[in-house]
Structure 1
Amino acid sequence: MSMLTATVIPALPGALRKLDPRQMWHNPVMFVVEVGAALTTLLAVAEPFLGGPASSGGSPVPASFTAGIAVWLWLTVVFANLAESIAEGRGKAQADSLRQTRTSTTANVIASYDGESDAGGLRSETRPVSSAELTLGDHVVVTAGELIPGDGDIVWGIASVDESAITGESAPVVRESGGDRSAVTGGTRVLSDRIVVRITSKPGETFVDRMIALVEGASRQKTPNEIALNILLASLSVIFVVVVLTLNPIAGYSAASVSVPVLVALLVCLIPTTIGALLSAIGIAGMDRLVQHNVLAMSGRAVEAAGDVTTLLMDKTGTITYGNRQAAEFSALDGVAPRELIEAAASSSLADPTPEGKSIVVLAETKGFVTPDDVDGVIVPFTAQTRMSGLDLPDGCQIRKGAGSAVLAWVEESGKAASSTVAQLDEYIGRISNAGGTPLVVAVKAPSVGKQPGEARILGVVYLKDIVKEGIAERFAELRAMGIRTVMVTGDNPLTAKAIAAEAGVDDFLAEATPEQKLELIKREQEGGNLVAMTGDGTNDAPALAQADVGVAMNTGTSAAKEAGNMVDLDSDPTKLIDIVRIGKQLLITRGALTTFSIANDVAKYFAIIPAMFAGVFPGLAVLNIMQLHSPASAILSAIIFNAIIIVVLVPLALRGVKYRALSASRILGRNLLIYGLGGVVAPFIGIKLIDLVVTLIPGF
């Protein structure tokens, strides 16, 4: 009852409004049913004045027969509209919450912004205007506690922003000028600091406006596959209309004239009304499932394309790996006690704020290192020039860790390192690099004695490993079973890329990738007949996102990336690309399964309608009455009732989608033919027989 109150009743007014023929003609199959319902209704009203209902095929029918046919035909149309209305209604709540963020706010527009020298608009005059009056290219100042008045890019400053109104995530995020995290969305709130935002959208065309239109289905256009299927269904409907129109004159030669209500009933049972009723709802529900995953698809075409994707391009960092390298092993050189290496590496990392430095301390603690309360010594921070960091102890001892060549050069400032030491160091570095890790060399330099520099020694190497996410290999195996090829894209060197690719189980990789190489790879795949999906967040990803068949832009990314892609991930989770492909495939599988069921369904209904139409004149047709229905009138009415009820029964499946399984296309097709093809034939035999038993309880049938 709660489900009825929450979904069906609110959708009913919308379903009734869709009875308007100007809307119904967009769905040819259901438009034919509506015309048949209207014609049958007129006949039901006129029959009392014309001497009662005509017999069918020589068999008398009850007085309420035509009225019953008319009622159930109208219910068939209403049920079809209700399915679409329920699907559209699922986005209403989210649209209402989004409208609350779209309320007009005051924007402080900078009269003349001159970039960095303006210090965030502090030196320029601002004027308050309504956010609805903002134009493309305006610069506005937003301070802590204020709503961002429109979509744009931060051109000055850094701030913490609450995006919960858009993403549903309560944790604030950091947005800053420059880089790939500069885009902000109108209606979100600045929690700290002060920023200058350049407006990048026109009034009424903001990200929120587009989200509202899309989740409500107002701007949903039929996809190419939907259009093709609609053309097929319309063609079948035209063919069956011609067949039914010619049936009565032919039957008249045998004095077996068939009444118009029966002909209409036959036509409705012949045409694929089930898929015609649910087709639109399936498409809307597919987009809604993406919205539930916090992904905004700019069109239904993008969702379908996701289902047809054959190549996935995925960034290594953040998608396949966690992105933060973790210390996995200490390797001491010959003649160096492992304990000495561990203590030196941990001591030099005590004040290191990076995830790598912290992981070295954690690993050292598992080896028995006791972390002191305070760092005793002078911290030497990492710089791009030195490529090292470390600690200078009070007694003059120095500890350094960093890139192999940099640490070796630092050691050789005090004297040439032994060739055996260099050879072993190269061996360790090569082994770690080939395994896809990052070698971090640790060295110490003893205190100086007079003017003589202290002895410097290389202690060993710390193995930093880019951790592959748990379960990612299994997910790639599922994609492979579906016939999807995965390609890892990374800026790492080929050795590291090869090792990570092998561990993660991807099919191929592109190392030391540049934006131009990404674009070229996508074009090459498409020329080979593949559909490509990829994620990106930066302006340099925009060309590749635009070229890809499915381009998923991160919400944290730049406006250029979001404009180039045809989907936006509000959670900015690159791994969600796999879920997007699954949802797209589920949409296509659902549409195919219910089309199969609908066509198989019609085959079974012929065994109820055809024998009933001519049973009085051609007794031999009784052999086709497999269901042993009570009478011609009850058989025809039972078929029409089943035709309407099956739509209602299948609405939850159309909205939820057929359960997705990671199988090849041929196995999915075989499975659907078995379940939905065979089920579509069997279900009417059972359903129509049960309904016939109920109909026979009505006087006259």
Structure 2
Amino acid sequence: MTTHLVSTDEPATPGVEKSDEPESILVSRGAFDARSLVTSMPLALRKLAPRAQARNPVMFVVFLGAVVTTVLALLRPSRFSWTVAAWLWFTVLFANLAEAVAEGRGRAQADSLRKVKRDTIARRLCADDDLAGVGATEEVAGSDLRIGDLVLVEAGEVIAGDGDVVDGIATVDESAITGESAPVVRESGGDRSAVTGGTVVLSDRIVVRITTAPGETFVDRMIALVEGAARTKTPNEIALDILLTSLTVIFLLAVVAVAPMQEYAGQSPDPVKLIALLVCLIPTTIGALLSSIGIAGMDRLVQRNVLAMSGRAVEAAGDIDTLLMDKTGTITYGNRRATDLCPAPGVSVDELARVAHRCSLADDTPEGRSIVELCRSAYGVAPDEGTDPDRRVTDTIIPFTAQTRMSGVDSDGVDSDGGGALVEYRKGAADAVTRWVVAGEGTVDDTVAADVERVSSAGGTPLVVGVRTHGQPARVMGVIALSDVVKPGMTARFAQLRAMGIRTVMVTGDNPLTARAIATEAGVDDFVAEATPEQKLDLIRAEQAAGRLVAMTGDGTNDAPALAQADVGLAMNTGTSAAKEAGNMVDLDSDPTKLIEVVGIGKQLLITRGALTTFSLANDLAKYFAILPAMFTAVYPQLDALNIMGLHSAQSAIVSAVIFNALIIVALIPLSLRGVRYRPDSASKLLGRNLLVYGVGGVVTPFIGIWLIDLVVRLLPGMG
């Protein structure tokens, strides 16, 4: 394995954003609105069950407080006790509402996916080794297919289950899954062999080997994921739960200690006041919104056509330090393309273009098609150039072989005058064409060898073009430069990752010379050349051993071990089943650079949780100083100096705080679902911004809110 450090002088461009974001028919990008609150209310009411409440320790305390307060209000009715009880129930309900809205958005997406999932009739091959699909078939329900079954699918038919194409090539309509209207090509023997149940074959025929059991298909997993049914708490959520539970216990002990203090001061403890005080002091805001933040994070991924297999993967994406990207098909287009023509001495570029076009017309490889495209678009060669209606031409295609390392065509024609001659066109490896020219009594100019060396040094592949007319010496026409073309915009995207503090590493099996050229052009921070699947795995383990989180994108079976080892493994939907099973995320658009958006969403989730936690704790601190002075002012008049808001009485202060506590949850639901805006910046600046906005805001907002509510509450009878 060869590793080189590539110095890049591309400036960081944190403002670069992707404008052509892919749309999907599976998701709605509508902003949060009041309608979603109304439609989610029935689910929020169902979540009032004690078993559902017990999953959230903080809100379970509020739930128990609401139950006890309601009982006390029944035993000793008063306007104050009933008001507190009502708003405590509203607090619990609004907390459920935040989670219900997030889950409701996922269910809407799941309903769309269910329309894709349908039980189709499959034509299963009776002979397991009949890959040609010419033998007998039997019709079975898609739900009866088993792993390993071979299914024949022809144009117009629905693919009955997830699998890999083992024979044939076809265009497939995957719009129901990806939202992309353009059909895609699926073929056997490559990294684009995976097909998904529910998609439709548009042309030709393929034989699919089923790789998943009924009920475990890709669409089934998508439905479960977007509904959040399989979402487990991440380590950060568990740690935050422990912190919030600890704070709840501390405040519970503190409130319990208030009762003896009141008795000592000559006041009769009021359980309703103490319960209300406890609810206002514990971190109810973040406790109510914590679950919705995590669900909304996964929902934002689905909106971008990325499915995360767990919340852990989303959070890990926000913390990654190193990104490994496969070169072929990720940073580059994957197939080498013709990018330049270098004519030999005495040959014009137009002559070279015509000959290169002629000897590539029958070449159906991606490289051959790119040569034809280059000659037509850049050099104006007409599609029918070189043909003559008065000339009867017999073309003999010369295919590429490993022995000759050349391909081309022999044209033998007779014109109307009876003349004509055999013309041989060849293109191929420099040494092979050189030997062919020399054998045809021709010579090769040193300039051609220099052009070959120059193209090779730049990481490209040189193809030499030669022509020989019967009875004349063969001659070299020039050199075609094939290059592994870097996708547009990659340099800006890598600069954006660098602004996020992420180190990018290109992994390729190419030689170091080619790898260096591509890495420099793309703007990655580092590259690894001549890498095997085992070396990719070792590289990820080495990064993780150094304490760094690693993300990996890939689409091939050879990427599966690395995808499984990486903290974030983003597999392409067009890739093999092995790659999709190994990764913990799947990109339905098969855009490897989508990982930039995934990282942004992960960071946004972490920042949102941190910002709302900061706001909640600061909020509780402010409520503490707002309520306690009002509660004890009657006994200790000196505390009135701390009643800076001038709250009317202990009762009005408590009711105002309880009302504010419920309303602030509703006010923050849109933010928890939308997420705090993330802008690539250093961790210290992000922390400072959050402390300023949400820390200071969390202290100021309760003072203003409680004071305004108290102005209204004090006017109500029974609150004096």
Q: Normalising to structure 2: TM-score of the pair?
A: 0.88
Q: In structure 1, the residue corresponding to 2:76 is in which secondary structure? A: helix
Rounded Cα–Cα distance in structure 2 between residues aligned with 1:486 and 1:538? 20
Q: CA deviation at 1:175?
A: 2.4
* Higher alpha-carbon deviation: 612-621 or 139-148: 139-148
Letter in 1 for 2:667: V
- Counterpart of 2:225? 214
Aligned residue among 11, 19, 22 for 2:51: 22
Rounded Cα–Cα distance in structure 2 between residues aligned with 1:439 and 1:368? 19
Cα–Cα, structure 1 residues 171 and 339, in superposed 2: closer, same or farther, change >3 Å? closer
- Counterpart of 1:124? 136
- Counterpart of 2:531? 513
* Higher alpha-carbon deviation: 170-179 or 311-320: 170-179
- 1:156 aligned onto 2:182: no
Cα–Cα, structure 1 residues 321 and 200, in superposed 2: closer, same or farther, change >3 Å? closer
Rounded Cα–Cα distance in structure 2 between residues aligned with 1:187 and 1:311? 36
- Counterpart of 2:610? 592
Q: CA deviation at 1:590?
A: 1.1
Q: CA deviation at 1:276?
A: 0.5
Rounded Cα–Cα distance in structure 2 between residues aligned with 1:476 and 1:258? 63
Letter in 1 for 2:121: T
Letter in 1 for 2:136: S
Q: In structure 2, the residue corresponding to 1:107 is in which secondary structure? A: strand
Q: CA deviation at 1:569?
A: 1.5
How many residue pairs get aligned? The number is 675
Q: CA deviation at 1:614?
A: 0.6
Letter in 1 for 2:714: T
- Counterpart of 1:45? 74
Letter in 2 for 1:270: L
Cα–Cα, structure 1 residues 467 and 585, in superposed 2: closer, same or farther, change >3 Å? same
Rounded Cα–Cα distance in structure 2 between residues aligned with 1:431 and 1:111? 56
**Maintained 8 Å contact 2:296/2:673:** yes
- 1:251 aligned onto 2:262: yes
Cα–Cα, structure 1 residues 329 and 148, in superposed 2: closer, same or farther, change >3 Å? closer
- 1:270 aligned onto 2:270: no
Rounded Cα–Cα distance in structure 1 between residues aligned with 2:323 and 2:549? 9
* Higher alpha-carbon deviation: 626-635 or 362-371: 362-371
* Higher alpha-carbon deviation: 312-321 or 426-435: 426-435
Cα–Cα, structure 1 residues 379 and 699, in superposed 2: closer, same or farther, change >3 Å? farther
Rounded Cα–Cα distance in structure 2 between residues aligned with 1:320 and 1:157? 28
- 1:432 aligned onto 2:455: yes
Q: CA deviation at 1:284?
A: 0.5
Letter in 2 for 1:153: D
Rounded Cα–Cα distance in structure 1 between residues aligned with 2:565 and 2:171? 33
Aligned residue among 512, 521, 533 for 1:494: 512
- Counterpart of 2:563? 545
CA distances 1:561-607 after superposition (whole Å, capped 9, x unpaired): 22211111222222212222221111111111111111111111122
Q: In structure 1, the residue corresponding to 2:152 is in which secondary structure? A: strand
- 1:686 aligned onto 2:704: yes
CA distances 1:660-697 after superposition (whole Å, capped 9, x unpaired): 11112222222211221122112222222222223233
- Counterpart of 1:58? none
Cα–Cα, structure 1 residues 346 and 152, in superposed 2: closer, same or farther, change >3 Å? closer
**Maintained 8 Å contact 1:106/1:131:** yes
- Counterpart of 1:80? 95
- Counterpart of 1:411? 437
CA distances 1:496-552 after superposition (whole Å, capped 9, x unpaired): 111111121111112232222222221221122121111222222221211111112
Q: CA deviation at 1:316?
A: 1.8
- 1:610 aligned onto 2:634: no
Q: CA deviation at 1:392?
A: 4.4
Cα–Cα, structure 1 residues 699 and 375, in superposed 2: closer, same or farther, change >3 Å? farther
- Counterpart of 1:575? 593
Q: CA deviation at 1:636?
A: 1.7
**Maintained 8 Å contact 1:349/1:390:** yes
Q: In structure 1, the residue corresponding to 2:485 is in which secondary structure? A: strand
- Counterpart of 1:295? 306
**Maintained 8 Å contact 1:343/1:369:** no
Q: CA deviation at 1:486?
A: 0.6
Aligned pairs (5 A) from 1:101-180: 101-116=116-131, 119-120=132-133, 122-124=134-136, 126=138, 128-180=139-191
* Higher alpha-carbon deviation: 436-445 or 668-677: 436-445
CA distances 1:296-351 after superposition (whole Å, capped 9, x unpaired): 11111111111121111112233222335444433344555445444444444455
**Maintained 8 Å contact 2:660/2:709:** yes
Rounded Cα–Cα distance in structure 1 between residues aligned with 2:576 and 2:366? 26
Q: CA deviation at 1:364?
A: 4.9
Letter in 2 for 1:383: F
**Maintained 8 Å contact 1:258/1:613:** no
Aligned residue among 318, 337, 352 for 2:329: 318
* Higher alpha-carbon deviation: 556-565 or 584-593: 556-565
Rounded Cα–Cα distance in structure 1 between residues aligned with 2:376 and 2:218? 48
Q: In structure 2, the residue corresponding to 1:412 is in which secondary structure? A: helix
Q: In structure 1, the residue corresponding to 2:328 is in which secondary structure? A: coil
CA distances 1:608-661 after superposition (whole Å, capped 9, x unpaired): 111111111112212222223333322221211111111111111111111111
**Maintained 8 Å contact 2:573/2:590:** yes
Letter in 1 for 2:521: E
Aligned residue among 36, 44, 65 for 1:7: 36
Rounded Cα–Cα distance in structure 1 between residues aligned with 2:680 and 2:39? 36
Rounded Cα–Cα distance in structure 2 between residues aligned with 1:323 and 1:431? 22
Letter in 1 for 2:83: G
- Counterpart of 2:673? 655
Rounded Cα–Cα distance in structure 1 between residues aligned with 2:215 and 2:230? 14
- Counterpart of 1:59? none
Rounded Cα–Cα distance in structure 2 between residues aligned with 1:448 and 1:107? 57
Q: In structure 2, the residue corresponding to 1:159 is in which secondary structure? A: strand
Rounded Cα–Cα distance in structure 1 between residues aligned with 2:172 and 2:585? 22
Letter in 2 for 1:646: I
CA RMSD of aligned residues (A): 2.6
Q: In structure 2, the residue corresponding to 1:157 is in which secondary structure? A: strand
Q: CA deviation at 1:287?
A: 0.8
Rounded Cα–Cα distance in structure 1 between residues aligned with 2:362 and 2:205? 30
Matched-pair identity in % = 65
- Counterpart of 1:309? 320
Cα–Cα, structure 1 residues 516 and 266, in superposed 2: closer, same or farther, change >3 Å? same
- Counterpart of 1:203? 214
